[in-house]
Amino acid sequence: MNASIMNPFFRLGGLPSRMGARLAARPAAGNFLWLAMDRGIRLVIALVIGSWSARYLGKANFGLLNFAMPIVAVFASIAPLGMEALVVRQLIHEPQLAGRWLGTVIGFRSAAATLFGFAALGVAWMQRPGDASSLWITAILAAGMAVQALEAGELYFQARIEMRRLIVPRLGLSVFMNLLKVVFILRGMSVYWFAALTALEQGASGLLTLWLMRRALGTSQRLQFEFQRGWTLLKECWPLAVSALTVIAYVKSSQLILNTRLSNAELGVYAAAIRIPDTVAFVPGLLASSLLPGLLRSRAQGDDVYFTQLQRFFRINASVAYLICLPISLGSFFIIPLLFGPSYREAAPIMAVYTWAWFFAFMGGARGQHLLNLRLVRLSLLFSLVGLAVSLALNFLLIPKFGSLGAAYATVVSNLASSVLTSFLVAPTRRIGRMQWVALITPFHGLLKQFRG
């Protein structure tokens, strides 16, 4: 991205022009800023329209919608089969085979998403047998997940550090869908229509991504599905898929357990409490997609360069985590009544605690990129299993005593255990554990001088 595009943003923001020139010359920084702008606009829209929807639906219907969402989210997390980062790696090293890699990963991911959609429906039936409303909403969201699998096409843009080419079209789609949500509110539509709109946006995003990716590939490369290529890839990355499942399982295990213990209204309160913190879930992935290509290339320059860049990567994640989590946690008792109304007031202390689960998730996401670089993905699975065990134990211990607040504490501690403390369990990651703590204690050290003249 050239300076003529980026510098106006920096001038408008009051930043020194030399900082703008430096960032404009760095593809990863430009990529991050485009993605951050996209997600920031989406966040504002989601907060305004999402909180309005929660008020309109009421705690019971909002809880019903959020009964199905964590179930579908658990299976959506493993639909990519852990292939993304490995495919990005291959697209960087073998750009001439992009059509084959992309066609293969889209085929595998679409098949997995369809299969897991039926699995999500089965879990919903087991949790609430005979509850037609819960089953219908789960089925609608699962259908959207199946089509959303086509978003695998974005891996091409990640590898080329050109995610900006997806941002404007996707953002336009998001704005349009949220305007439809406003229409639904004004016309008094039922909760089923809101579920259908969520699924429609997911499916449309997948189709849009596929179309843009095929245009970018041009006529020189056709999408080709190669089962053997995908099977070979799957044998290498299956620990990542299982790890993704365990990560989302311990993050969402609180909600899944609460589904069987709380009323729809109480689920609505918990859903409101975690809605804003969960909006930051994209940030670790955004940082990784922007910085991973450079981190991968730094390995060729030797261990000293690589570990220097890795420490910087941890510090970037830690600094962003502090800047996001502190304001959300401290401001929860003001944010909840403002956005969701006084009927959701009891969600504020839950939100204040739950936010810190994502703080530690930043460290886990950064460590995961290192494990991928060194082909130590099975350690990711081990660490995730530890987090799942801690989460289940604490949820069963704390939820009966403290309810939703106990679930929030369980999520925070399990994330701390899985993302940071487990680094000290085995020799290959003890150095990484020390680097994580250094980043947490001195997050901004050495970062500001990147922008000095």
What span, in angstroms and rounded, lies between the C-alpha atoms of 362 and 215? 33
Say what the pLDDT of residue 16 is.
39
| pLDDT at residue 82 in the model | 76
- The winner for highest mean pLDDT among 53-62, 126-135, 137-146, 305-314 is 137-146
How far, in Å, CA of 345 to CA of 349, rounded? 9
Q: Mean pLDDT in the chain?
A: 81
- Lowest mean pLDDT segment, chosen from 320-334, 351-365, 375-389, 402-416: 375-389
Model confidence at 25: pLDDT above 50? no
| Sign of torsion over alpha carbons 141, 147, 152, 157 | negative
Least confident of 25-34, 101-110, 408-417: 25-34
The pLDDT score that the predictor gives to residue 184 is 93
Q: How confident is the model at residue 196 (pLDDT cuts 50, 70, 90)?
A: very high
- Amino acid identity of residue 205, one-letter, is S
CA gap 445, 453 in Å, rounded: 17
What are the residue ranges of helices labelled H in 218-302? 227-259, 264-278, 282-298
In terms of Cα–Cα distance, which of 109, 179, 105 is closest to 147? 109
Residue 366 · residue 317 · CB < 8 Å: yes
Nearest to 242 by CA among 382, 85, 61: 382
118 against 95, higher pLDDT? 118
pTM over 0.75: no
Q: Is pLDDT of 14 > 60?
A: no
Distance CA 59, CA 266 (A): 7
Q: What is the rounded average pLDDT of the residues 354-362?
A: 89
Beta carbons of 106 and 132 less than 8 angstroms apart: no
Both structure tokens of 37 = 């702008």
Residue type, 452: R
Residue-wise pLDDT tens digits, 409-433: 999 999 899 889 999 998 888 998 9
> What per-residue confidence (pLDDT) applies to 24?
44
**Considering the chain, what percentage of its residues have pLDDT values greater than 90?**
20
Q: What is the pLDDT of residue 350?
A: 94
Task: Take residue 38 and report the two structure tokens written for it.
Answer: 């996209």
* Integer Rg of the chain from CA: 22
Residue 1, pLDDT above cutoff 70: no
Distances (CA, A) of 411 to 47, 100, 241, 248: 23, 39, 21, 11
Tell me the one-letter amino acid at 378: R
Lowest-pLDDT choice from 42-51, 95-104, 176-185, 359-368: 42-51
Distance, CA of 21 to CA of 10 (rounded, Å): 9
Residues 6 or more apart whose CB falls under 8 angstroms from that of 195 comprise 65, 68, 136, 137, 140, 141
**Which of 427, 14, 413, 57 is CA-nearest to residue 251?**
413
* Sign of the torsion angle spanned by Cα atoms 4, 10, 13, 15: negative
What is the structure's pLDDT at 139?
93
Q: How confident is the model at residue 166 (pLDDT cuts 50, 70, 90)?
A: confident
Return d(Cα 151, Cα 109) in angstroms, integer.
Answer: 9
* Backbone angle region of 116, left / alpha / beta, with phi > 0 → left and psi within -120 to 50 → alpha: alpha
Tens digits of per-residue pLDDT, 237-296?
777 777 777 767 766 777 778 877 777 888 888 888 888 888 777 777 777 766 666 777
Q: Span 99-125, mean pLDDT? A: 90
260 within 8 A of 127, measured Cβ to Cβ: yes
Whether the CB-CB separation of 415 and 443 falls below 8 Å is answered with no
Contacts of 273 (CB under 8 A, 6+ apart): 336, 347, 348, 350, 351, 354, 404, 408
> What is the structure's pLDDT at 364?
85
